[in-house]
Chains A and B, each alone.
Chain A
């Protein structure tokens, strides 16, 4: 009995059970859900949010939040196209430039949060607007198209039959998982989330750690933006809008406590996969895209309720 109880206390387990039930239900209504082709295609789609959710896990574990990832995503997408098309950068350089801009955007977030002690919620809410504004201002509503063929490989190609971006996500997830659970850096993250003051007094490098994770978040947003543009081979200034919702929902669904101090990469990945399959299952069952947004919002709130229930919070 105690095995069952300790399993029930694990959000990942509860999640897998609920997930299997929900997916099973949706799959029973349509025979297209569980085909290999469909699953691989869904893997392609979920890679971008997945890459955003990995650093988001780190950030939420420390008790912070990053609402600007969607805007950094869009800003990097636009700047990459702009640098190549308007400023004449070679495309390889434009890609690196975009990744650099993403890292810089995240770094700025971290800088203000650490140095000026702006609460992460407010800082990233402001940069959500600022970076989206940069995307809109630079692009002026225009799109960049006609990328060379090799460019789309990372978004549309396969290695050994599995989409490229899924490999990237897999490698990134494994690395992040190892960092979180097996390194000092990871333990510092949990420590900051549990009690930041105690962590500081223990002599641990709280400021540097936080700067790193926000910069990492910006970098991943840039990478995800690059993959997205490679997949759809065009740039638009509204790309990535709402992705922060998906990322946060996946992280919270995966068992990371929004108050910090608890969480895992495995849970986040389960959350990402679950949300994508949910969206896909609904779509294949004839539910429109807007209703899907409603479902994700409800899922987010339910996820926290479940989390609170499991951990026995008041």
Chain B
């Protein structure tokens, strides 16, 4: 055999090694489960508002043994077994993936039937169709997620579950869905369209700012002045928009003024970032100190200039955040565009990759010819400009511009970036999860109102979230060493 021309193909997929009971059983259970489930009355009559208990009572009255057995025993039990089999398949690296994921789907149906039964026993007046629908879609999405994760190649020894939960975005997505489901069950007003759309958009400016923060954090620094910077830039933008010539008329034709009011914050944000970057990169002052000092300079400066007044009487056409290009709310457009832009920049441009290099190992980066000063400077300038974009979104959310920002806004932005997957230690991470994290944070804040938890505890919850994420990140790093 000529070994120079013949190479053994690398096996990356698990090899099917024959039929055994442990492989077949989950499949059988799942098929039975799905079949019985689909023949049950409430799946066929979703909109009638009939409750499980009501149906079962009616069935008992009519001696429909079949319905009773299905509803009370077969479906829940079978779902439980299938779910357990699915969980086992997920945590064991040796099992057959197809059986495992199908069993997981079955478990998903079980989850939904549990949800329905629980909601029947609990809240009164809860729309059964809504609960059933939510549960169904949840189990479908969960199963889809697990299917995808199961078929992505993974290193030997890692379980499908490990692959799923090692993926920050998937965890965030599942956490978000779970939160919406649980809070929606407790208080259906939470899932009203108006509230959900607020939750989705409300923190869009934070998601945008988190992309900028990611640049700084990946390069190994931190910026705790962004909150005050947002306030300052928003005020600058508003001041330009309402600027008047000495005789009282608007200084420029209104359209030109508005474009200027949108561009100036980005420019000035870049300047502020350049100042930070200069102090950190060229004068070698630790970024925590520079941005700590800058925080108070900006904060004091803002109050000095605005004297606590809000800016109102903003011109029409200025409110960027309230526009809807192609029917999609502008904040969401910004959030998506900036996130995708950030991901592409970090992954595929030389400057983006240099950020990772400098944050990961400064000395190695220097020896590779990367100028740390230039990279850190660029990170801060980029952050400043992106904060400018975020501040326009923030400024135009309402019809006035307040003289303050939400307290500890910088902490919120850092939380969104860190929980979204940027490692606070620098050198790794992806911005993709930052948008999800921003939405999750808003969902948590909103849900606290709907389930009567005092919103005063919100900051503690955010702090704990950051801590947990950092701990998980540290654990992950330790294990890799």
- Let me know if A134 is at the binding interface, CB within 8 A: yes
Inter-chain CA distance A136–B294, complex, in Å, is 26
Q: How far is the CA of A288 from the CA of B300 in the complex (A)?
A: 10
Point out which of B293, B415, B462 has the most chain A C-beta atoms below 10 A from its C-beta: B293
Q: Which of B224, B456, B460 contacts A141 (CB 8 A)?
A: B456
Chain B binding surface SS class: helix
Contact residues in B for A300 (Cβ distance below 8 Å): 289, 292-293, 296
Q: Which of B224, B292, B474 contacts A117 (CB 8 A)?
A: B474
Residues of A72-121 at the interface with B, using a CB-CB cut-off of 8 Å, are 112, 116-119, 121
Q: How far is the CA of A148 from the CA of B424 in the complex (A)?
A: 47
Interface size class of A (residues with CB under 8 A): 35 or more
Beta-carbon contact of A288 and B304 below 8 Å: yes
CB-CB under 8 A from B285, the residues of chain A are 301, 304-305, 308
**Across the interface, do B300 and A290 meet the contact criterion of CB distance under 8 Å?**
yes
- The answer to the question of A7 belonging to the interface, with a C-beta cut-off of 8 Å to chain B, is no
B279 touches A301 (CB 8 A): yes
Give chain A residues whose Cβ lies under 8 Å from the Cβ of B411: 125, 128-129
A240 to chain B, nearest CB (A): 13
Q: Which residue of B lies closest to A65 (CB)?
A: B288
State whether B456 touches A294 (Cβ < 8 A): no
Q: Does B2 contact A (CB under 8 A)?
A: no
B247-291: which have CB < 8 Å to A? 279, 283-286, 288-290
Do the beta carbons of B304 and A291 come within 8 Å of each other? Answer: yes
Q: Among A129, A249, A298, which residue has its beta carbon within 8 angstroms of that of B297?
A: A298
Q: Please state if A118 and B471 are interface contacts (CB–CB under 8 Å).
A: yes
Establish whether residues A294 and B222, one from each chain, have CB atoms under 8 Å apart when the complex forms: no
Known A-B contacts A65-B288, A133-B462, A258-B289; the reply to A122 vs B470 at CB < 8 A is yes
Nearest opposing residue in chain A for B303, CB measure: A290
A137 and B470 in contact, given A127-B463, A290-B300 (Cβ under 8 angstroms): no
Binary flags per residue of A195-233, CB closer than 8 Å to B gives 1, else 0: 000000000000000000000000000000000000000
Name A118's contact: one of B283, B296, B300, B474 (CB within 8 Å).
B474
B289 touches A130 (CB 8 A): no
Residues of chain A lying within 8 A (CB to CB) of residue B425: 119
Would you call A132 an interface residue if the criterion is a C-beta within 8 Å of the partner chain's C-beta atoms? yes
- If A139-B456, A291-B304 touch, whether A133 touches B461 (CB-CB below 8 Å) is yes
Q: How far apart sit A93 and B306, CA to CA, in the bound complex (Å)?
A: 45
For residue A175, CB closer than 8 A to chain B, the reply is no
**Which residues in chain A, 223-277, are within 8 Å of chain B measured between CB atoms?**
237, 242, 245, 248-249, 252, 258-259
Per-residue CB proximity of B295-325 to A under 8 Å, as 1/0?
1110111011000000000000000000000
Question: Which residue in A116, A122, A134, A308 is a CB contact (below 8 Å) of B424?
Answer: A122
Task: Tell me if B466 and A298 are in contact (CB < 8 A).
Answer: no
Among B286, B301, B463, contact of A126 (Cβ-Cβ < 8 Å): B463
Closest to A292 in B: B300
Contact of A130 among B290, B454, B467 (CB under 8 A): B467
Chain A residues near B458: list those with CB within 8 A. 133
Is B464's CB within 8 Å of the partner chain A? yes
Pick from A133, A242, A314: contact of B459, CB below 8 A.
A133
List A contacts of B304 (CB < 8 A). 288, 290-291, 294
What residue of chain A has the Cβ atom nearest to residue B471's Cβ?
Answer: A116
Interface presence of A5 (CB below 8 A): no
Residues in B whose Cβ lies below 8 Å from that of A119: 424-425
Contact partners of A136 in chain B: CB under 8 A: 456-457, 459-460
Contact in complex: A248, B292 (CB < 8 Å) = yes
CB distance B456 to A128 under 8 Å?
no
Q: How far is the CA of A236 from the CA of B462 in the complex (A)?
A: 21
Cβ-defined partner of A245 (8 Å) among B279, B296, B459, B470: B296
Which residues of B lie under 8 Å from residue A298 when comparing CB positions?
A: 293, 297
- The answer on a CB contact under 8 Å between B460 and A137 is yes
- Does B460 contact A308, Cβ atoms closer than 8 Å? no
Instruction: Pick from A112, A133, A305 the residue with the most CB of B within 10 Å.
Output: A133
In the complex, what distance in Å separates the CA atom of A117 from the CA atom of B474?
8
Contact status of A133 and B463, CB under 8 A, knowing A117-B474, A125-B414, A297-B295: yes
Contact residue among A122, A126, A133 (Cβ-Cβ distance under 8 Å from B457)? A133
Cβ-defined contact, B296 with A296, below 8 A: yes
Chain B 408-436, CB within 8 Å of chain A: the 1/0 string?
A: 10010011000000001100000000000
| Chain B residue contacts of A174, Cβ below 8 A | none
Q: Cα distance A11–B439 when bound, in Å? A: 48
Instruction: Establish whether residues B471 and A130, one from each chain, have CB atoms under 8 Å apart when the complex forms.
Output: no
The CA-CA distance from A65 to B224 in the complex, in Å, is 15
CA distance A133 to B411 in the complex (A): 12
Residues in B neighbouring A126, C-beta threshold 8 A:
463-464, 466-467, 470
Contact B295 A130 (CB under 8 A): no
Q: Evaluate contact between A297 and B300: CB separation under 8 angstroms.
A: yes
A259 to B285, CA, bound (A): 10
The answer to whether B460 and A129 touch across the interface, beta carbons within 8 angstroms, is yes
Interface pair B470/A297, CB less than 8 Å apart: no
Establish whether residues A129 and B289, one from each chain, have CB atoms under 8 Å apart when the complex forms.
no
Q: In chain A, what residue has the closest Cβ to B279?
A: A301
The smallest C-beta distance from B220 to any residue of chain A, in angstroms, reads: 11
| Nearest-Cβ distance from residue B309 to partner chain A, whole angstroms | 13
Shortest distance between the CB of B421 and any CB in chain A (Å): 15
Contacts of B288 in A (CB 8 A): 65, 121
Enumerate chain B residues within 8 angstroms of A134, measured Cβ to Cβ. Answer: 460
Best-buried of B279, B292, B474 by chain A (most CB within 10 Å) = B292
Q: Provide the bound-state CA to CA distance between A50 and B283, in Å.
A: 29
A59 to chain B, nearest CB (A): 13
Complex Cα spacing A308 to B463, Å: 33
Taken together as a complex, chains A and B put the C-alpha atoms of A259 and B284 apart, in Å, by 11
A125 contacts across to B, CB distance below 8 A:
224, 411, 414, 466
Chain A residues with Cβ under 8 A from B459's Cβ? 129-130, 132-133, 136
Q: Who on chain B is nearest to A294 by CB?
A: B300
When distances are taken between beta carbons in the complex, the residues of chain B under 8 Å from A245 are: 292-293, 295-296
Contact status A294-B301, CB under 8 Å: yes
Q: Answer whether residue A293 sits at the interface, using C-beta atoms and an 8 A cutoff.
A: yes
> How many whole Å from A37's CB to the nearest CB in chain B?
28
- Chain A residues within CB distance 8 Å of chain B: 65, 112, 116-119, 121-123, 125-134, 136-137, 139-141, 237, 242, 245, 248-249, 252, 258-259, 288, 290-301, 304-305, 308, 313-314
- Residue contacts A-B, CB under 8 angstroms, 22 given: A65-B288, A126-B470, A130-B459, A130-B467, A131-B463, A133-B458, A133-B462, A133-B463, A134-B460, A136-B459, A136-B460, A139-B456, A245-B293, A245-B295, A293-B297, A294-B297, A297-B296, A298-B297, A301-B289, A305-B283, A308-B283, A314-B284
List of 9 A-B pairs having minimum Cβ-Cβ separation, nearest first: A133-B460, A129-B463, A133-B459, A297-B296, A293-B300, A130-B463, A294-B300, A137-B457, A297-B297
